């Protein structure tokens, strides 16, 4: 069974601070995805990274896929209260997704 470890599990920061969330696995995935889930809603896809070493930017969010395609990071610059939510990474293999436990982020105004 492939497992994805996310850290930290919880993160509470002040508005304007920067943060990084990590997603690590002992296995290689064909692609890795990041989702954000708000209370009472299903997860919403933020980005998919496919190539080792790939970096993708989505406004203040920067996603990186490790060279070996086993780990990924999500960096948020100048966090806003609207960034509050549960951030989930998911490794994809064929049609299956394996989810990490998530990082619960709270951005305090």
Partner 1 sequence: SAVISQKPSRDICQRGTSLTIQCQVDSQVTMMFWYRQQPGQSLTLIATANQGSEATYESGFVIDKFPISRPNLTFSTLTVSNMSPEDSSIYLCSVSQGRTEAFFGQGTRLTVV
Smallest gap, in angstroms, from Cβ of residue 18 to partner 1? 26
- Pick one of 64, 102, 105, 107: the residue that binds partner 1 (CB under 8 A): 102
> In the range 15-44, which residues lie near partner 1 by CB under 8 A?
31, 33, 35, 40-44
* CA-only gyration radius of the chain, Å: 13
Dist. CA 99–CA 109, nearest whole Å: 29
- Pick one of 76, 88, 105, 107: the residue that binds partner 1 (CB under 8 A): 88
101 Cβ contact partners less than 8 Å away, ≥ 6 residues apart: 5, 6, 9
- Indicate the residue among 3 and 78 with the shorter CB distance to partner 1: 3
- Pick one of 61, 69, 100, 107: the residue that binds partner 1 (CB under 8 A): 100
Q: Please state whether beta strands 31-37 and 44-49 pair in parallel, antiparallel, or not at all (unpaired).
A: antiparallel
Q: Please state whether beta strands 10-14 and 103-108 pair in parallel, antiparallel, or not at all (unpaired).
A: parallel
Is residue 86 within 8 Å of residue 103, measured between CB atoms?
yes
> In the range 39-78, which residues lie near partner 1 by CB under 8 A?
40-45, 48
| Interface with partner 1 (CB under 8 A) | 4, 31, 33, 35, 40-45, 48, 88, 90, 92, 94-97, 99-102
């Amino acid at each position: 069974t492939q497992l994805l470890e996310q850290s930290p599990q919880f993160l509470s920061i002040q508005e304007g601070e920067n943060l990084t969330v990590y997603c690590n696995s002992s296995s290689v995935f064909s692609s890795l995805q990041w989702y954000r889930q708000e209370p009472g809603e299903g997860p919403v896809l933020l980005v998919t990274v496919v190539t080792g070493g790939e970096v993708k930017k989505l406004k203040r969010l920067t996603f990186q896929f490790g060279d070996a395609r086993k780990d990924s990071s999500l960096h948020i610059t100048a966090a806003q209260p609207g960034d509050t939510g549960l951030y989930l990474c998911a490794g994809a293999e064929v049609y299956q997704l394996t989810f990490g436990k998530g990082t619960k982020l709270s951005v305090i105004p």
